[in-house]
A and B are shown apart, each in its own frame.
Chain A
């Protein structure tokens, strides 16, 4: 029998630093909730609003798969591997921190707010060689469809990471119904509602609500409002 955990948007951790208004679905920085440490290998889901021109100066990371999805605006990224790029809405960025990497992230626009999701997954192996990638996604392909944007496979759709995880993004018309089949036995799905209202396995979810479902092969999905947009994170439930 499937199990689930519901994280309503207003129960997330919140930190307003002025230039950065952050909501944390799981414990992060000074937000510590022992009940909100991770969902399987999904450890961080931050919903950040960053003022124009502001951002995070150079800082290091290691042994994490870090995925950044801009929802509005654009982010300027520079790292110690020599990458310098701007990632905007409709694109996805991935960084395997592995043995260690330093990077900076700033709002690329001075006069526009940046909204991004930053997602961290525990890797399936430690101390890999750091790597960086970004991709432009075909936004039209997610209309009434869960478009795969990340997988463990180098030759599959979307970016790839060092973990048996699959991410999908979908944007749906009101009333659209479908079923999502979990990609690998033992994985669970964490659904995060970017906009609109949806029903997943009978649970009604609003904007920025999260629902984790596991011990199941699939989930049922229905969009209740127009332009309902959802990110599905299909991740191993066992930590490596």
Chain B
């Protein structure tokens, strides 16, 4: 069964890399966006297992995102992704899911 992962970041290049990396693994489905509104809309419409918060999201936006996403999907895991599509990604996701 595929794990659906929603990535939200502000840098379009990193967002593109994240989409490539997440969708390169058959066990993951990655949805990657730069807009908070788009992320909230996707969360309303689709099943999401894990949310990764990427670069450039300020403290205020992060707080609002966490509140809104948790309200829409109670219990959804929301973690910070560090490194920008780097060697940390697999470990972060495995840790969050396990």
Show the binding face of A for B, using Cβ within 8 Å. 27-30, 32, 34, 37, 43-44, 59-64, 97-100, 102, 120, 122, 126-127
Contacts and interface: CB of A to CB of B under 8 A. Distances in A.
Given A29-B87, A60-B11, A62-B55, A43 B82 contact: yes
A100 B13 contact: yes
Given A59-B17, A63-B55, A100-B13, A27 B83 contact: no
B88 interface: yes
A37 B58 contact: no
B85 A60 contact: yes
A46 B89 CA distance: 16
Contacts, number: 74
Contacts of B10: 99-100
Interface residues of B, number: 24
A99 B84 CA distance: 9
Contact of B83 (A30, A63, A127): A63
Nearest to B94: A32
A27 B17 CA distance: 20
A60 B84 contact: yes
Contacts of B88: 28, 43-44, 120
Contacts of B84: 60-64, 97, 100
Contacts of B56: 62, 99-100, 127
Interface of A is mostly: loop
Contacts of A63: 55, 80, 82-84
B91 to A, nearest CB: 4
A28 B87 contact: yes
A28 B91 contact: yes
B95 interface: yes
Nearest to B11: A100
A114 to B, nearest CB: 18
A104 to B, nearest CB: 14
A62 B83 contact: yes
Interface string B1-38: 00000000111011001000000000000000000000
Given A43-B88, A99-B55, A99-B56, A61 B17 contact: no
B98 interface: yes
B61 to A, nearest CB: 10
Interface in B54-98: 54-58, 80, 82-88, 90-91, 94-95, 98
